[in-house]
């Protein structure tokens, strides 16, 4: 989640109140809202693009929204079912060990420079992703252990991994493994960031000014949409623009005054105003690991299982959820409810202050004079660093922890500062989440090779997470996911709190902007009333 710059939150409300009278004249719906119309321009507002539009290099939500329409991937993940369906590849085979993936490419797909999507170009993409290494943050993660890429014939690609990769089929649907032309893979990383590449997606890049604007043109020859997508032909839009607008009150004002037609970065507070004015609000929880606390087992607070369980039961998730948008839902598992293979296990960590207090009493943590529990000279007091725009929720949880005698101090930092302290053992809890439409989202945060080091005393959770990554068979995978989630909650390794969600706010004359399975914005079926 990108950080937002909000210079004057209070003033924003005033600006909104004033804007109302002016904006109401510009947003009256005139045409038919059900039959898509072809043509026109849609301007989409984003707070930041981090200066790069190469889908294989970007990793922030906003940069992904902007670069994703430029590429098609080997497969498509159905947002309703979570199933993997054909896209550039019409079919595929996976060996029993989940180490060998063979993709058969569909005929007729092409890059925007006119060259066909063939096996050689797909191989060139994987070669270049491997070569980029950590620069392709997501791609590098998805291709870990990729040993060879073979092309048995012009339209067949065979990938072989050193160890089982049960999660790779889902990864093949991601924009980070979206295909660009062979020629494009040879360009420098900087040139590709600046937009010097030809993609395989429904839109082609016309102009890109970093941190300012990107102009994409709909490809009239695009005819290889995934079968389950509504628009089977070329994009309805002539032009799709992304305007980078960092200040949130400016973003709100531009959308209200119809200078832009949609954005997924309107604050919860402002969303109500849009809803009242007839704008469409489309909300979807991000799949992956929910927002929650990751516990450092080496810290005073984290080393006692009783304390971890007490924290788990001390959070009133419904109260926290009431601070979010009306469409948000509290966490009911370590995974969010839009993640494939998710199951509701909310009973395991139900809100129960009495139980939490009882657990702490039994473990010998006694209330001190200042209301903070202590035992053998150690106090249940710690500082939580966070950079995400979730301050309100954390303050409420701070109060709820206080009710059981745990003192959580909050300190807002930057991503840079926080990353700088990972691994030094100085923090008791981390505030984290991870978006990916696959249960393996958990391993990237808490798995054996994850960035965070939680000092868990045994490897049971690591092993359970590894199993998820090794199995392709859905039924066996479901068992592995359930087992890993159960272990994580039982040991209190993660304290789930709330689901991150994305809300697209679009003007009354804009339609068809949808979510893909990863809750990224999809424009292939978007259109505007002329």
Partner 1 sequence: MATYLLRRIGFGVLIIWAAFTAAWLILFFLPGDAVAAAGVDTSDPAALEARREALGLNRPWYVQYVAALFGAVRGDFGVTVGTGEPVSQIIARSLPNTLELVGVALVFALIIGLVVGIASVYPRAAWLRGLLSALPPIAISLPSFWLGLLLLQAFSFGLGWFPAYNTGTFASIVLPALSLAITTGAYLAQVLASSLRIEMASAYAEQVRAKGATRPRIVFGHALRGAALPSLNMVGILVAGMLGGTVVTETVFSRNGLGRELIGAVESSEISVVLAIVTIAALVFVVINLLVDFVTPLIDRRIALTGKVAA
Residues that bind partner 1 (CB under 8 A): 3, 5, 7-8, 11, 15, 18-19, 21-23, 26, 45, 134, 137, 190, 209-213, 243-247, 249-250, 253-254, 256-257, 259-260, 414-417, 419-420, 422-424, 451, 453
Q: Answer for the pair 49, 63: CB distance below 8 angstroms, yes or no.
A: yes
CB of 212 to partner 1, least distance (A): 5
239-244 and 366-367 as β-strands: parallel, antiparallel, unpaired? unpaired
CB of 257 to partner 1, least distance (A): 4
Query: In the 8-state DSSP scheme, what is residue 287?
Result: P
Task: Name the residue nearer to partner 1 (CB basis): 256 or 481.
Answer: 256
The dihedral through the CA atoms of 133, 76, 53, 505 has a sign that is negative
CB of 224 to partner 1, least distance (A): 33
Tokens matching residue 114? 């006119």
CB of 68 to partner 1, least distance (A): 21
Task: Name the residue nearer to partner 1 (CB basis): 73 or 271.
Answer: 271
Alpha carbon distance 181, 204 (integer Å): 12
Task: Name the residue nearer to partner 1 (CB basis): 11 or 33.
Answer: 11
CB of 373 to partner 1, least distance (A): 31
Q: Is 206 helix (H, G, I), strand (E, B) or coil?
A: strand
| Phi/psi-derived region of residue 50, left when phi > 0, alpha when psi is between -120 and 50, beta in every other case | left
Alpha carbon distance 135, 176 (integer Å): 11
Task: Name the residue nearer to partner 1 (CB basis): 158 or 189.
Answer: 189
Residue carrying structure tokens 């012009």: 154
Task: Name the residue nearer to partner 1 (CB basis): 32 or 211.
Answer: 211
CB of 456 to partner 1, least distance (A): 14
Task: Name the residue nearer to partner 1 (CB basis): 160 or 258.
Answer: 258
Task: Name the residue nearer to partner 1 (CB basis): 132 or 159.
Answer: 132
Backbone angles phi, psi at 419, to 5 degrees: -60, -35
CB of 314 to partner 1, least distance (A): 30
Q: How far is CA 525 from the centre of its chain?
A: 21
CB of 403 to partner 1, least distance (A): 35
Query: In the 8-state DSSP scheme, what is residue 177?
Result: G
CB of 416 to partner 1, least distance (A): 3
CB of 426 to partner 1, least distance (A): 12
Task: Name the residue nearer to partner 1 (CB basis): 49 or 118.
Answer: 49
Beta bridge partners of 386: 412
- Collect contacts of 137-146 with beta carbons under 8 A, ≥24 apart: 137/57, 137/59, 137/176, 138/59, 138/174, 138/176, 139/56, 139/176, 139/177, 141/444, 142/167, 142/168, 142/171, 142/172, 142/174, 142/176, 142/177, 143/177
Helix H or strand E segment including 497: strand 494-498
Task: Name the residue nearer to partner 1 (CB basis): 285 or 295.
Answer: 295
Task: Name the residue nearer to partner 1 (CB basis): 250 or 327.
Answer: 250
Task: Name the residue nearer to partner 1 (CB basis): 249 or 506.
Answer: 249
41-46 and 239-244 as β-strands: parallel, antiparallel, unpaired? parallel
Q: Is 425 helix (H, G, I), strand (E, B) or coil?
A: coil
CB of 84 to partner 1, least distance (A): 29
Q: Answer for the pair 340, 387: CB distance below 8 angstroms, yes or no.
A: no
Tokens matching residue 381? 């007091």
Task: Name the residue nearer to partner 1 (CB basis): 75 or 271.
Answer: 271
DSSP string, 122-176: HHHHHHHHHHHGGGSHHHHHHTTTEEEEEEEETTEEEEEESS--TTHHHHTTSGG
Beta bridge partners of 281: 505
Angle between helices 305-314 and 474-491 (to 10 degrees): 100
Residue carrying structure tokens 């839902």: 329
CB of 493 to partner 1, least distance (A): 18
Backbone angles phi, psi at 471, to 5 degrees: -105, 135
Q: Answer for the pair 46, 62: CB distance below 8 angstroms, yes or no.
A: yes
Tokens matching residue 52? 């790069």
């Amino acid at each position: 989640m990108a950080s937002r710059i909000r210079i004057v939150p209070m003033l924003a409300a005033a600006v909104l109140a004033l804007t109302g009278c002016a904006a109401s004249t510009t947003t009256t719906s005139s045409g038919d809202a059900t039959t898509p119309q072809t043509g026109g321009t849609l301007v989409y507002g984003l707070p930041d693009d981090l200066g790069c539009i190469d889908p294989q290099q970007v990793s922030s939500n906003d940069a992904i929204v902007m670069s994703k329409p430029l590429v098609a991937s080997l497969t498509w993940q159905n947002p309703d079912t979570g199933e993997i369906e054909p896209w550039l590849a019409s079919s595929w085979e996976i060996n029993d060990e989940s180490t060998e993936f063979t993709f058969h490419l569909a005929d007729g797909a092409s890059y925007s420079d006119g060259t066909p999507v063939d096996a050689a170009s797909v191989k060139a993409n994987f070669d270049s992703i491997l070569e980029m290494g950590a620069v392709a943050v997501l791609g590098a993660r998805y291709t870990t252990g990729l040993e060879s890429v073979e092309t048995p014939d012009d339209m067949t690609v065979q990938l072989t991994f050193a160890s089982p990769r049960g999660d790779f089929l889902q990864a093949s649907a991601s924009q980070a493994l979206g295909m660009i032309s062979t020629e494009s893979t040879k360009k420098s990383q900087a040139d590709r960031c600046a937009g010097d590449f030809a993609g395989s997606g429904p839109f082609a890049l016309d102009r890109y000014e970093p941190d300012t604007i990107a102009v994409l043109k709909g490809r009239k020859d695009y005819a290889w949409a995934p079968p389950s997508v509504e628009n089977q032909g070329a994009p309805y839009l002539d032009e799709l623009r992304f305007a980078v607008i960092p200040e949130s009150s400016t973003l709100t004002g531009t959308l209200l005054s119809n200078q832009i037609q949609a954005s997924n970065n309107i604050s919860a507070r402002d969303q109500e105003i849009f809803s009242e004015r007839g704008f469409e609000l489309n909300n979807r929880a991000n799949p992956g690991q929910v927002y929650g606390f990751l516990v450092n087992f080496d810290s005073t607070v984290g080393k006692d299982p009783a304390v971890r369980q007490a924290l788990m039961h001390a959070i009133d998730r419904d109260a926290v959820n009431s601070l979010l948008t009306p469409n948000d839902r509290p966490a009911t598992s370590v995974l969010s409810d839009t993640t494939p293979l998710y199951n509701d296990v909310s009973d395991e960590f139900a809100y129960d202050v009495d139980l939490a207090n009882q657990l702490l009493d039994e473990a010998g943590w006694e209330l001190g004079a200042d209301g903070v529990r202590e035992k053998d000279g150690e106090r249940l007091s710690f500082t939580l660093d966070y950079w995400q725009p979730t301050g309100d929720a954390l303050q409420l949880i701070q109060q709820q922890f206080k009710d059981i005698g745990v003192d959580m101090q909050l300190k807002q930092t930057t991503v840079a500062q926080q990353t700088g302290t990972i691994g030094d053992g100085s923090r008791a809890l981390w505030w984290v989440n991870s978006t990916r439409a696959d249960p393996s989202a958990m391993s990237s945060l808490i798995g054996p090779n994850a960035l965070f080091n939680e000092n868990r005393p045994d490897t049971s959770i690591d092993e359970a997470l590894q199993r998820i990554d090794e199995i392709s068979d859905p039924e066996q995978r479901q068992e592995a996911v359930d087992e890993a989630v159960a272990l994580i909650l039982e040991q209190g390794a993660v304290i789930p709190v709330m689901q991150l969600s994305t809300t697209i706010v679009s003007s009354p004359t804009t339609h068809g902007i949808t979510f893909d399975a990863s809750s990224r914005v999809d424009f292939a079926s978007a259109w505007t009333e002329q």
